[in-house]
Amino acid sequence: MTPTSPAYRELGAQLAALTTEAFRPDLAEIDRLPTLDIARLMNTEDRTVPGAVADQLPAIAAAIDAAAERMARGGRLIYAGAGTAGRMGLLDASECPPTFNTAPERVVGLIAGGTAAFVTAVEGAEDRPDLAAEDLARLGVGPDDTVVGVSASGRTPYAVGAVGYARGVGALTVGLSNNANSPLAAAAEHGVEVVVGPELLSGSTRLKAGTAQKLVLNMISTITMIRLGKTYGNLMVDLRASNDKLRARSRRIVSFATGAAADEIESALEATGGEVKPAILMILAGTDAKSAARLLEESNGHLREALKGAD
């Protein structure tokens, strides 16, 4: 694509129409301000993001319910994006195994250009919808899976291509963008458009747009896991205790859930190999580790349902 080509002019026109790409003349002297004033400006801008997310809560909730239904059948949650948007997806996916004890393949992040693009830009990768199709085909995406395309502009070919391919094979599709009436939202079954407006620095959608993406992805993964029974109330009962801090946290969670004495908690965790959820069930239901494991299996991992089954 050359500066004189019709495609180049078309791309320029597309970017000019995006609120995330707009220039703000009122900030043209920002580089001359004291550091504290710049920090205050950034903080003021960031305060607008939660409100923009709040405007999209019904759409977000509908997408989560649909995704949770598919994950309950064994499906996966897959994020696909380029640049900052891709990195946000990778970050959210990587936090699910230690937080909710999910298998690494249950929540997956795809970034245009492969994982190397997490730290080094891969030129031209975001312009290739075919690469997104190849990445999803390699994963064997199907009807029980959910694919979330993430793009600040809402026009990134990799993200739009990912959603288009996924919808074609019957997967649930969600398009998360930061501009209204985006091609990404139009391509997906569930469009989530968190319009945060022009950025503090023109051309840097890692700022408010990136923050909005992080907030929404937090909601998608966290609330989906709540729906899958990965929590008991607001306690993370499926966390993976892989270090001393998490082992101490496990004991605190069992204590919050049961009110049991320290020695009873230690005994239950030892019997379950450090697994929090069956330890809680053992204490609250007065059962042994083997029975707790059976009850949880019968309730698909939902602790409240397992407690009912123990009555």
Report how far residue 111's alpha carbon sits from residue 118's, in angstroms, rounded to the nearest whole number. 7
> Within its chain, how far is the Cα of 80 from the centroid?
10
DSSP state of 25: G
Cβ atoms of residues 303 and 237 within 8 Å: yes
Pick the catalytic residue from 21, 69, 95, 189.
Answer: 95
> Within its chain, how far is the Cα of 153 from the centroid?
18
> Does residue 95 have an active-site annotation?
yes
Q: Secondary structure of 110-156 in the HEC alphabet? A: EECCCHHHHCCCCCCHHHCHHHHHHHHHHHCCCCCCEEEEEECCCCC
Q: DSSP letters along 220-255, please? A: HHHHHHHHTT-EETTEETT----SHHHHHHHHHHHH
Pick the catalytic residue from 29, 45, 69, 126.
Answer: 126
Non-local (6+) Cβ contacts of 29 within 8 A are none
Which residues does the annotation mark as catalytic? 95, 126
